[in-house]
């Protein structure tokens, strides 16, 4: 179906087998890379890197592809096992250049699906001087609670303005 680029000759057999199986699964969906990206929250260029073995895919990307392809749970689990074997054998990239994203927990920073700002959790973003009580740090570290608090305050302000306006302008 697709004319795939040849895989590098120096790929470990586990990686080669995994990428070939992922390519077959992608072809089975009948989707273009752009359409696959739209249905999986991973971009077309990300899928190009995964399917050409230039970068290992995150586990979530493979799970999303299995879901889009309509695989049975047992077959999707097999892809998960192939993924684990491939990632263990995947050639490690050289040390990152300054200014480029680093690899953390097996996933490149840029490959984490984009989440809305209110869902992203900044670990350590709510850190203060460290001398406060523990109950204050729990609220400031969770962005979704801050958004909820701001929304409630805004609603209360709007209600107050409406009541004052009704009383004054009668």
What's the predicted TM-score (pTM) here? 0.55
Give the pLDDT score at 65. Answer: 93
> What's the mean pLDDT in 146-161?
91
Task: Give yes or no for a contact between 148 and 118, defined as CB atoms under 8 angstroms apart.
Answer: no
To the nearest whole number, what is the mean pLDDT of the chain?
Answer: 78
**Closest by alpha carbon to 27, among 51, 1, 48?**
1
Name the percent of the chain lying above pLDDT 90. 44
Cα(169)–Cα(66) distance, integer angstroms: 62
The answer on pLDDT for 92 being more than 50 is yes
Across residues 34-55, what is the average pLDDT? 91
Q: How far from 79 is each of 19, 20, 64, 87, 158, CA to CA, in Å?
A: 11, 12, 11, 12, 52
Q: Bridge-partner residues for 108, per DSSP?
A: 103
- CB 52, CB 5: distance < 8 Å: yes
Residue 52 to residues 3, 18, 23, 45, Cα–Cα distance (Å): 11, 11, 9, 11
């Amino acid at each position: 179906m697709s004319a795939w680029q040849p895989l590098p000759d120096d790929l470990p057999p586990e990686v080669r087998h995994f990428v070939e199986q992922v390519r077959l699964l992608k072809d089975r969906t009948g989707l273009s890379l752009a359409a696959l990206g739209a249905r999986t929250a991973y971009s077309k260029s990300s899928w190009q890197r995964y399917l050409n073995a230039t970068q290992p895919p995150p586990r979530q990307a493979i799970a999303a592809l299995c879901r889009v392809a309509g695989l049975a749970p047992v077959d999707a689990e097999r892809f998960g096992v192939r993924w684990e074997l491939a990632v263990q054998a995947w050639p490690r990239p050289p040390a990152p250049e300054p200014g480029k994203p680093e690899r953390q927990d097996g996933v490149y920073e840029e490959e984490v699906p984009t989440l809305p700002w209110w869902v992203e959790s900044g670990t350590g973003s709510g850190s203060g001087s460290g001398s406060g009580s523990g109950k204050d740090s729990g609220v400031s570290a969770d962005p979704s609670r801050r958004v909820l608090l701001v929304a409630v305050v805004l609603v209360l302000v709007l209600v107050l303005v409406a009541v004052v306006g009704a009383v004054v302008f009668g």
